[in-house]
Structure 1
Amino acid sequence: MTAQRYSVNQYLIETIMTWVKSGEIAIPEIQRPFVWEAAKVRDLMDSLYQGYPVGYIIAWRNPSVKLKDGGMAEGKKILIDGQQRVTALRAAIGGQQVVNQDYRTVRIRIAFHPLDERFEVANTAIDNDKSWITDIGPVIRGDTKTHKVVRQYLDANPDADEDLLYDRLDKLTDILKKQIGLIELSHDLDIETVTEIFIRINSKGVVLSQADFAMSKIAANEEFGGNRLRKAVDYFCHLAVAPEFYSVIEENDKEFAATDYFKAMRWLRQENEDLYDPGYSDMLRVAFTSRFNRGKLADLVGLLSGRNFETRTYEKDIEEASFQNLHDGVMEFINETHFKRFLMIIRSAGFVDKSMIRSGAALNFAYSLYLKLKRDHGNEPRIESWVRRWFVMSVLTGRYSASPESRVDKDIKDINERGFTEVLADREAAELSDTFWEVGLVQGLRTSSVNSPLFKAFLAAQACLGDKGFLSKDITVRDMLTHHGDIHHVFPREFLKKQGYTRGQYNQVANLACVQQEINIKIGSKNPVDYVADIFQHCQAGQPLYGVITDPGELAANFQANALPQDQNLYHIDHYEDFLARRREAMAEKIKRYYQKL
């Protein structure tokens, strides 16, 4: 018979709040704003007052850890669901301040009308209305005695019924005696099981990620600075998107503003780069992979709990070392030189706009790889090339599109054990063979998805190689990608639609090319066999009809740079499929040459 690895109990509100205050239940500091509106706090208090159920909260017990002196420290319960409700209770009853949507610390006061039994969010009008008790917190906590509240209320409202007032205030203070369900999960449950329990209980279908569990584990640990580390991750991610948030931190969180974390991310206050705007999951994965040589965040949760994977015990030394290691990884991540150098490498590979990067996992691993190689090899000049090749190889093969954690875990362990160059050579031999370039890649380009990573790789190849746009003399593909230029249908879309072709046929990526808007407009929906003939004829005459190329050799080079066949017969509608096949082969060949130059 399998032992039950969780318990379900009902506890008094005052018991839960006492446990939170004493630290027996740890609430991970939610540095992101308290997402409940004040009205929801009011509704929660009304539900408790009326005796309605308010759902369950879920806590996951930390394992007990072995101390250096041989003793044992009992693990705390970490709240992983119900943070908003508990925070609302602490705000309305305990008087604790919360961080609002503007990241400012505010106090939420809930007022009570004892005669009408109504709750409202306190405001100036209510403060001036003597029929309201303007803050229920001191009354429920017992800081203000009931008889004193009644006397003051009767002085202001002499017609009120004294017995009724006592009844209503007794009912109000009984909120602390109302119950809330607590589901306590055993420390030895794996993250997948905890996630399944969470999903089954949460009626709104909210899913917790492994990064959420890791962040909860980090934030609940004040002993080794996890609470500050959690802030560093959250703040960096917010600043990367909204640099103006820098002054808000300085103004409202002076304690954090004095830390080394904040000093290390100061450069973000004037940074508008958006190629890589990491979320907290991205930061954790990169820092964890680069410092721990592992890829599964479940392992991070275990290590932060002090897990010894060999003995299957939990030790304080491992917990402390893991927090220090993660701290170092986060500091490396947010380092200005590292971050900007890495983005320069990605841009130098031709991925000049964030819309071109379809795999966040590939980008994260590339940054993990850069940080590890930089730490292991110092100023080795080949690092840039290594990172470029691995990133592009990952994009071309969809390396992290399925089971990314397992792939990352295997890759980083292989690299750590055998060395990068040996592992890269093995991967290239296995996955980038002649068959891949001549068959697999060509077949992969048989798609109508403009978001195909293979089509993005083709555009990156053009950007990296300095190619000009179709029929352009000076404007490069890189320029057009950076400024979101036009993508032209070589066989115009409207022309093909009139011939009865479907979306999947006319939107084939082999029918697309980067082109200046004015050229695209001039071509319009013309028959390609006609406008291509005009292009060659007018170029030879020195009077270009489209663009400004007047040299036949330059025109031929432009067609080649855009992987377009120069055989004019292929632009006849009867040869559309032949055109696509020929161009797919040329696109694949360009991607191959580009990769080999990385």
Structure 2
Amino acid sequence: MKQKYAVNQQLIETLLSWVKSGEIAIPEIQRPFVWSKVKVRDLMDSLYQGYPIGYIIAWRNPTVRLKDGSSASGKKILIDGQQRVTALTAAILGQPVMDKTYKRDRITIAFHPIKKQFEVINPAIGKDAAWIHDIAPIIRGDERVSRVVRTYLDKNPDAIEEEVEDSLETLKAIIKKQIGIIELDGDLPIETVTEIFIRINREGVVLSQADFAMSKIASNDTYGGNMLRKGIDYFCHLAVSPESYNHIKENDIEFVQSEYFSKVAWLRHESDDLYDPNYSDLLRVAFISEFGRGKLSDLVSLLSGRNFEKKTFEEEIAESSYARLKKGVLNFINETNFQRFVMIVKSAGFVHPNMIRSKNALNFAYVVYLHLRAERANDATITSAVKKWLVMSLLTSRYSGSPESTFDYDIRQISERGFQLYLDDLEAAQLSDGFWDAGLLQQLNSSSSTNPAFNVYLAAQCHQNAKGFLSKDITIRDMITHQGDVHHLFPADYLKKQNLSKAIYNQVANFVYTETATNIRIGNKAPKIYFSELREQCNGGPLKYGAITSDNALFENLRQNDIPESIFDMSVENYEEFLESRRLLISQKLRLYYYSL
């Protein structure tokens, strides 16, 4: 069998020239650089010492058949070694990188020619004449070694000239060191390259098919892929860090002059964090909604011009695929679409990002929104569909197993059969009486505060504008958005003293949102004690717990919080009975909530 890759040694300067010329694509230039500065320092030390730094793996885009019958091969896509190459461009070329907080920073590496040590520049080293404060100009050849030696000796008269000169010549020679490059053949099946891409970096940053797709997009300048990639990255950047708008405007003139800049500029005034998509989320939603497919490996194939039937690569398919992906991305980042979608999610009661633990469920809900918008469904239909799909997905943990396969199946069914018919079938299969009467009760038998069913229950309470436990005016929505307290109806300290385990007293059916003052007042009293005091309060007695002063208001508050009235007479021996009763009430509320959407 023919070997499908070649192993070569290239000079560091050759590799960096490929980066500067665009021969090799590195999408991380715009996305956060995940290596620490110390790792960059260690990389330079390894090169100085002559230690191996591992192989770089690249894949040349497959040969594409052009319209005139000729063929053309594409650029190299760096599929392993992105962090190392980015570190080299930072330390040697002096290119700034973007850190995890989306701040641009120059990684400056200092060198001590006597000790032969490298360090990240800091104020102390910056004041120490024994250190060369920036190795980049020397390695690049911008500064003559002889001149640097003279300057160094003027500042360090006790240093030995030959020793300093030898150290600096070795430093300069780093750019002539070799690095191993494994180049995968352009005719390797894309599925194989994708699998290689995902598997190779087991000890480093976890790679995904979205990373591979972004590498593919970044390598294209024929159909605007490089600028499209910037549009994706900057949207996600501004969604998290809107204050970066001015920096982008001042430092990326090419992007500012593109059509994408005006499309993302609205985020400079956006502070809502309910849905802060990363590039994987954006790419996935844009692809699914526009192409009607769920597997990102298919996107890489289509962008390469893959004809699935003929098993060839054709320019027309590549051109069309970039145009379609651009349309999908523009639909995603459209201010009206995005804000309308977030508003729908909030109107369903999901008022805080912690209430939606499945980003995949949120992503596909946006797919539903964009799909129905494209079909020109009316606003009421879209609103109801998005809410129901999101709640159904969360309650059934629909995307927790093999999300890509489920995405692919869902969008194909929706496209072929229509949304409503497919949803009706899912409801019949997964939201039957058995789910509401048994399956959901089992989900609620949990001690995790991140339990999906409990979070949907909180959304239902927000949707119905329910008041906090024993609150007269303050709603659960207010408490969630302003970090209110979760209270145990059977106080935790009370149950601890009865020798109940944490997993038992922290059951989600024992949780309610309440005001801090009320929580403190209840302390560790048994329910039958503090509820008897509540009854006195509602019949003219002193105010102890909140501001509720009538039986009608008290019972209405219990109803809004789905608390069984039998709690008035309960103590620890009734705790299991209480949990079962409240789980049933919560399940009944969730059922009514879902079908009201």
Q: 1:271 to 1:209 in 2, by over 3 A?
A: same
Name 2:471's counterpart in structure 1: 472
- Counterparts of 1:52-451 in structure 2, within 5 Å, are 52-90=51-89, 95=93, 97-99=95-97, 101=99, 103-104=103-104, 113=113, 174-186=173-185, 187-190=188-191, 193-195=195-197, 197-199=199-201, 204-451=203-450
- The 8 Å contact of residues 490 and 510 in structure 2, kept in 1 or not, is answered as yes
Q: Which amino acid aligns with 2:255?
A: F
Of stretches 250-259 and 171-180 in structure 1, the one that deviates more from structure 2 is 171-180
Q: Which amino acid aligns with 1:369?
A: V
- The 8 Å contact of residues 34 and 98 in structure 1, kept in 2 or not, is answered as no
Provide the rounded CA distance (Å) in 2 between the counterparts of 1:123 and 1:575.
Answer: 63
Q: Which amino acid aligns with 2:96?
A: V
Residue 254 of structure 2: SS of its match in structure 1? helix
Provide the rounded CA distance (Å) in 1 between the counterparts of 2:484 and 2:456.
Answer: 17
Residue 242 of structure 2: SS of its match in structure 1? coil
Q: Deviations over 1:347-367 (max 9, x none)?
A: 111111111111110000001
Provide the rounded CA distance (Å) in 2 between the counterparts of 1:468 and 1:109.
Answer: 57
Of stretches 485-494 and 255-264 in structure 1, the one that deviates more from structure 2 is 255-264
Name 2:594's counterpart in structure 1: 595
Q: Deviations over 1:115-145 (max 9, x none)?
A: 8766677999999999998887677667788
Q: 1:528 to 1:325 in 2, by over 3 A?
A: same
Q: 1:88 to 1:455 in 2, by over 3 A?
A: closer
- Counterparts of 1:430-509 in structure 2, within 5 Å, are 430-509=429-508
- The 8 Å contact of residues 8 and 182 in structure 1, kept in 2 or not, is answered as yes
Q: Deviations over 1:227-278 (max 9, x none)?
A: 2222222222121122111111112112212322221222211211111111
Q: 1:146 to 1:240 in 2, by over 3 A?
A: closer
Residue 78 of structure 2: SS of its match in structure 1? strand
Residue 382 of structure 1: SS of its match in structure 2? helix
Q: 1:474 to 1:160 in 2, by over 3 A?
A: closer
Q: 1:439 to 1:91 in 2, by over 3 A?
A: closer
Q: 1:160 to 1:267 in 2, by over 3 A?
A: closer
* Residue 562 of structure 2 corresponds to residue 563 of structure 1: yes
Q: Which amino acid aligns with 1:198?
A: I
- The 8 Å contact of residues 111 and 122 in structure 1, kept in 2 or not, is answered as no
Percentage identity across paired residues of the two chains: 56
For the aligned residue pairs, the C-alpha RMSD in angstroms reads: 3.4
Q: Which amino acid aligns with 1:470?
A: F
Q: Deviations over 1:468-505 (max 9, x none)?
A: 22222222222222222122211111111111111111
Q: 1:494 to 1:150 in 2, by over 3 A?
A: closer
- The 8 Å contact of residues 346 and 388 in structure 1, kept in 2 or not, is answered as yes
Q: TM-score, normalised by structure 2?
A: 0.88
Q: Report the CA distance between 1:4 and its aligned residue.
A: 4.0
- The 8 Å contact of residues 543 and 550 in structure 1, kept in 2 or not, is answered as no
Q: How many residues align?
A: 592
Q: Deviations over 1:541-572 (max 9, x none)?
A: 47654232233233222212211111256623
Q: Deviations over 1:280-302 (max 9, x none)?
A: 11111111111111111111122
Provide the rounded CA distance (Å) in 2 between the counterparts of 1:484 and 1:124.
Answer: 40
Q: Which runs of 5+ in 1 are unaligned?
A: none
- The 8 Å contact of residues 413 and 422 in structure 2, kept in 1 or not, is answered as yes
Of stretches 40-49 and 420-429 in structure 1, the one that deviates more from structure 2 is 40-49
Of stretches 117-126 and 239-248 in structure 1, the one that deviates more from structure 2 is 117-126
Residue 400 of structure 1: SS of its match in structure 2? coil
Of stretches 142-151 and 426-435 in structure 1, the one that deviates more from structure 2 is 142-151
Residue 549 of structure 1: SS of its match in structure 2? coil
- The 8 Å contact of residues 190 and 297 in structure 2, kept in 1 or not, is answered as no
